[in-house]
Each structure stands twice: as structure tokens, then as C-alpha cells.
Structure 1
Amino acid sequence: MRRISLVLMMSVLLMMLSVGSIITAQENPSAPVLQIVDSDPLEGEELELDAPITIYFDRALDCATVADAVSITPEVVGETTCGEGDTSLIFTPSATYERGTTYTFTIGESLRGADGTELAEAYRLQLDTVGFLRVTQVLPAPDSTNIATDAIITVIFNRPVVPLGSVEDMENLPNPLTINPNIEGQGEWLNTAIYTFRPDTNWAGGTEYTVTVDGGLQAIDGATMQVAFRWSFITTPPALVEVNPPDASSGIQLTPLIQATFNQPINQISLEENFFMRSNSGPAPAVTGTFEWNDDSTGFAFTPDEPLALGVGYDIGFPENAVFEATGTIAVPAETWSIVTVPYPAITGTSPFDGQTNAPSYGGLTLYFASAMDVDTLEDQITIEPEPYLEPDYYYQDYDNSLYVAFPTEPSTEYTITIAPGMADIYGNTIDTALTFSYTT
């Protein structure tokens, strides 16, 4: 066991000596090879257009060999000198580098250390100069269609264009956009590299807009755009998207609220002047009424001045090339929809039905009406024979315009129900024909 421990201790000692030798070789100027230990800028960092390139070594250089050992591709005129303590090499360009260009900085094997050592192999450093200011993303996307008319334009750049500042500084910052057709709006820099534009009014529907980013725009670091950036998008065309009551609705009350909703703000005057509501069952004057719009002009409600006629179909809508979106530029496609008003009052069914046998003996009957009825005119018109021994109770259901008459019935008994004329709907129109039906429990 003791022998194994001695072996382990010797192994660890040898490893420590080896590591120490490596470190000494890296730091010791007497190492047989001239070594590069750092660079400024590092590979991958952007090279400023007038910045020097500095290479650091592990020992002093023979400065007489420096100038001939350095080359740059593409060629750049400049001066190569030793830095402080002769342990670095500095290349200073005589003119600025080309923007957005990759340069390869090479140190050949002719370079010598002051102690005569040389590089094991030629050294190459690849650097990219500061590039151009570019637009990296825009919203709406180029060539996109059906863009909402309240969309916000967003432009994202590849580098800071404006400094960080307060809201008060915003008015002094550049507005880089030109929009055709022209539209007024508010621009805002969300940060140093993102610009947004919000129109004061909605974009015109169904319109192609072309947006240009100023080619003379300059970034904080001096980078400029090579060319102006231009893209286009098309807004969604105006359209009617919903009506209420829906098309082909029946049983509509005589004082309805006609509602319509569009996918974008509408020119109110063009709609009100061209809207129609008229009977589709023969010559009749157009229905007049009043309009009420929602806050963003995307929808309206029309209320007729007078009650509509009973049991009549009405066409509602507007013609082609007559109603326009808010800017008055693009027309909304023509639309027509129809409704039918409530019919004259009538009893459309009974339960039990006339002639029914084996009707439930738990009592009662139901009358079904064609339209909403005036409840106060119903029960006095109903006669039940034989007369129930308890006074009937009456329950009117608005959802299906029905009247349930609850009374106790006798088994195996024929009941005759008589409905006298005079039941009235909610508009005062009466059922003028009597109705009699019978059933047996």
C-alpha cells in the first residue's frame, strides 16, 4: 500500500513539473518560437475605417524586420511600426479603409524577434470594416396584401441611427420615410435602430403604398446607406362584413334597427346618400330614417322613421361605385340583403290539435301565434267547454309567441275550444276570424 502511494506521489510531481515547463515556455522570451498573444481588433470585431491594427507578441521584436513582414489584402497604404516596448506591431493606414470590406492582414515568416526567433508559420488576421447602414426588416412586409387600414409601419436597421434620448428630443430626430401616396402621420424612434410611423387617419383601403427609406440616412457611427430602400404593400379593400338582421331573415318587427359593419372606416356621407331600403313586393316609396355611426365609422345603425308594413319583404343595401372608404378613394362593392317583416296576426297551431284523441289528461292547451301578441287581448277571447272546475291560468312565451292555458281536465272527455275574434298583435292588428277545435283526453 505504501509503495502504491509513493508511485502516485511521483506521478503527480512529474505532471506538475510538466505543466510548469509548458507555462515557462509560453512566458519565457527564450522560447525557440516567436509567438502572437493578442490582436486589436480581434477577429470578428468590426474594423473602424481609420483604426490602426495592433498585434501583440510574447517578446520584443526586431523592429527593422517589421515593415517588410506585413501585407494587407486588398492593398492599403500605411505605416508599420513597433509599439511601446517593441513587443507589439502597429499598422496605421494613411487613408481610410473601404467601407463594408473584408481585409486580410498577414505577417510573414520574415519577422524576427529581437533575440532572433521567428514565427513558426505566417499569421493571418481577417477583419471586416464598418459596413453600410441597412434595413434588416420592415412591416408590413414587402409586396404584402390585405394589410389592415390602421397598420403601423415599422423599419428596423442593422445599427443605431439615433442616440438614446428623451421624448422631448424626438422632434429633432430624422424622419427617414417618404410615402406615396402621401399620408400625414406621426413618426417615432422606439429605440436607436427601430422607427415606426402611425398615420393620422387610416390608410386608404385597396390602395398600393410605396415607402422609401432615405438613402442619405446616416448611422451614429457614420455608416450610410448605399442606396435608398424601397418597398410596397397593398391595403385590404373595403367591404361589408356583417349585417343585422342577417340576409333572408323573416319575422322582423315593424320598427327594426338595421345594422351594418365594414372592415374599415367608411365615408359617412357617401353611405347615407346612397343607402336604400325599399319594398320588394311592388312599387312603394323608399323607407326613410336616421343613421347613427360608431366612433370609428366602421358601422352604422339605421332606424326607419315609420313602422314597416306587415308581411312585406324589404331589400336593403347600396349600389356599385357609390359608397367609399374613409378617404373617398376606393369604392365598396355593391351589396343587397333582404328581410321579411312579421305577418298579420294569426293562430298557426294548437296543442292538442283539432280532432286529437288520447290527449294528455294532465290538462292544459297551447296556442301558437304567427307574431308577437298583445297579452292583454288574449284570455278573454278563449272559451273552454266543458268549463273547468278551476279558473285557467295563462302563460305567454315571448321566445315562440305561444300562450299556454293551464286548467284541470277530466279523463276520457271531449273538450271544445272556441277562440273569438279580437286577439291583437303588439301593433294593434286583430285576428278577425273565430277558431274552434276539439280534442279528447
Structure 2
Amino acid sequence: MLTFLGNDSSPKVVSAVPAMGDKELPRSQKIAILFDKPMNINSCVQSFSVSPATQGFYDLNDYSLNFTPSTLYNYGTYTYTLTKNCESKEGHDLKDVFTASFTVGNQTSAGTFPEVQSITVSAGSSSVCNSANPPSVNILSDSVTDACMGTPLRNKIKVHFSRAMDRGATISAITFSPNFNVTYYWESDTDLSISPDVPFPYQSRINMTVSTVAQDTQGIRMQIPVAGSFQVGTPNLVPRLTSLTVSTGTLADCLAGIGVLGDLTTTSITTACLGNPTNNPIVFNFSRPMNQVQTQSNIGFSPSFTGTFVWSPDNLTLTYTPDAKLSYGVRYTITVGQNVVTTDKITVEAPSTYSFVAGGPVSSSPTVQAVGVASQGCATTFPGTGSAAGGNWLSGSCYWDNTLAVLSPSSYTFRAGDDGTGASATTAACADVTSDNFRLIFTNYMDLNSAVNAVRLRRLSPPSTIVQLSSWTWTDCQAAFPYGCRVLNLSFAEQEASCNGSLFGNASTGGDFNLLRSDNTPAGFPYYMITVDTSARDVNNLPFSSNFNFTMEAK
């Protein structure tokens, strides 16, 4: 406090706060000046100033001037001055210029500025990044190209300052490019932890700036802005397919439900179960929890088939169960697309494809391996043997097999069974004979229905006749799944045969199981062609690649 004494009529400052030399004052410090006479207070306001210039509010009366700063002082030294133009109400000037200096805050840091001493992120290999305590690297002193996406979920950025910082001002000084949402946490007055809301994108570069808006607790701002960057080069949180399994094994094992799991990510599978026993679930195991809807929509199957997706509660395992058994011998391709994504929106690094063969590889489409008639020594099991010279209905072998050239139709002869004398079921003409019962031996085990429906016999020589399949039997069948047979025996009848009259299945004869015999008529010896068209399929659902045609002469 200052006191001025004198006997003249000039007004004097009786006291002032802060006094000259006051230190460590608060940033909101008021200035108060007391006079010994009533003053023209407006003149005093015009005569008052603060350096450095400071805006504020005045609280006035005849004997005092009070100044309150409108914003907090910065830390440092301030000087306030009242000139002699401050007058009393009698019109007398202030006797002497009044001035005083004071210090806001501590002067120990005078002449220095706060600094960022380090900015650290976690970096290293995927295994290191996913460990409990991955190492931190200072991006201000090191070139960081292997920063973690997260450790294991978020890669915290830690900033260390040279001294205690104003928390609000410092946070407002920090910017990122590209921008992302973060949570700030002060571990101490000098250490700030920044946690991104989501992991960093793989292969992105993160730029960080701390501007000079950052200031310490005394209000001293950073003199130089700080900038740093790092490359997110470790894909430790990129999702991957850890396994993709289907049941595999022999047909018998699969049918019994004891097929073993095979992993398509590590193994080539050519014997996947068609169903074990009713279906074969395809199981996707991911390294991280996945977004269900987007992941399902980016998984494809070719050839396509319907099924049901089911997720595990932790969103790590997806099971796809086909609605029906897979087709034997078909190679199925599974595509996992680029937009398969985790629950925290991280996509796979690249699309991938996998494939497997259901049931086992199929070497070729089915075809006829041999052809003959039942009266020959033609095999009843695969394979059949033909003759290079052809043969008749009494030969010791089939007419032909697929190792031989096909001869002219007259090289292959058969004897039709209906001699034209039939009148009742007891006549010889109406009894089935084996010399016109044809035998087809297939290379593959055949689907019974499609194979029978694909066979046709027709007379090529005039006059034309109507030929119908009367009955058929199969031999050389496999008892295990997928079943099927390889040898087909066929009995045909012609409408024109004597046992039928004008209709097939004559009630009086019990129907006809023979073709019309022609060796005892003047019409000559007609040709017949047996055909198997491409609608015939084997048990693996493979069709004939082309029609099979074989022509013979009826003797």
C-alpha cells in the first residue's frame, strides 16, 4: 500500500492494489486505486492504462477506480499507469503520475516455452501388436512404418510435454489427418493419452499436429508447432479365415456320419462328403468377430445351392448348412469377397477362393462300353468283351466293346423271337427268347431311371413298325451309396408281332416280349438301331456327352 502526504490542493492516490513488485498473483487479479478527494471519475478512466494492453470492466465511485480484466491475464509482468490528467471534482490534476508493476504467476519459467518432448505409438509385428504390452516408438525421432492397427483393439497415442499443461487449451490444439474420433485422457499434467474410437485402417498414414494454441498452466503457449506422422503397416487386426472345413472321407464313412473334417485353407479336398448322412455343413472360422449381414452377403458358392447360415454367439464362426446333399463329382468353389467385414468395420485384405470336389473326382462322362444280346456269351458285369469280326446271337462274346472299330450293320445279327404263329400265351412265338433281348454295358454306375428312359430301339428298314420296351432288368449293381448299376438287359416287342394283334399287352397272350422274326418271310432282313441319348445320367449326375447308336441286322 502506498500513502502520499502533502498540503496542496492536488488530489493524491492514497493506496493501490496490486502494489509495486507484487508477485505470483492470480490471473484474475483486480486493480483498485483509492483517492484522497472526490474525483472526476470519467477523467480518471481516460487516464488509466494497463500494459500489455488488457481489456476490462470498471467499478467506479467518487473516491476509487476498480478495474477487472475481461479475460484472464497471461502469466508474466503487467504495469498499470494513471496519468496526471485524472482530475478532482474541483478541477485539479493528480499531483503525480502513478504507476506500479506486478507479476501474474511464477517467473521461474520466464523466457522459456512448453514443448512436446515425445509422441509415441505401438509398433511391431502382428504377434507383437496383439501381445499385452507392445513396445512404443517415438514418431518425432523415428520413422514408423509398422505401427499397429490396435493393441489389441486400439493403438493409443501418448504425448509427453516438458511441463504441466493447460488441459483444455492443449487438447484444442491437436488435430489429425485423416480426421477420426478420439477420447482424451490425462495420465498426469504432462502426459496425455489419446485413444481412437476405432482401430487405425491398415496401410493408412496418420498425420498429427500440435499447434501453438497449446499452453502450459501458466498460460505460456508453445512457441513452435509440432507435427509427426506414422504408417499403419501391421495388419494385426485385419480379419482372416483361420479355417474353412467340410466333412470328407469314403462314401461309406460319409454315409455312416463318420467323415473327418478337412480344412480347405490348407488341404486340397477331392472326397468331400455329399452329406453326413443328410448334409455336409461348411464351417467358416474367422480370426475376429464379424459383421453377420455384410459377411454373409459377400460369401458365394458355385455352382450355387441354397442353405442356412448360423453364427456362433461370439461372431467368430459361421456355419452354412446346404438344404440338400451335394452332387457327386462336382467341384464346388467358395468365394470370400473383399467386403467381408468385422464388427468394427475392418475388411479382409483381399478376396479369396477355395474349392473342393464332392464324393470324389470323376474321370469321364458315362458311355456304352459293350453291346450284345442275352443269348450270347456277353458279360453280365462290367466290362464286356466284343469281337473284332462282329458276331451273331450265338457268339461267345458281345457284338462289340469300346476298344473295337464299329463294323457294318450286317456284321452284327440277332434272331427275333416272334415267328408269326402266336395265338395264345402258350405258343412258342409268345414265349420270351433271349436272342432278341439286348444287353448294354455302361462304363459308369448309372442312374436307373434316366438310363432306361434314354434307350430307344427302332426298325430302320421298311415297312416301319412300332417298337416298345416290354421289360428290363439290371445287373452289376453296387450296394453302397450312391448305388447304381452298370449292365442293362432289355426286352422289346413290336405291335405287328403275332402275339399282340393290333395292341400291345394282348389279354389273351399276356403281352409280347419278342420282336417280329423276319428270316421266314420274303421281306428280307431288316436293320434295327438301338440308341442311348444324352438324357442318360450316371449316379454322379453326369450325362452322356453324345448319343450312342448301334445298328444290327435281324436274321
Q: For the superposition of Structure 1 and Structure 2, which TM-score range results when normalised by the shorter chain? A: 0.3 to 0.5
Report the TM-score when normalising by structure 1.
Answer: 0.40
Report the TM-score when normalising by structure 2.
Answer: 0.33
> Considering only CA atoms, is the larger Rg found in Structure 1 or Structure 2?
2
Whose helix proportion is higher, 1 or 2? 1
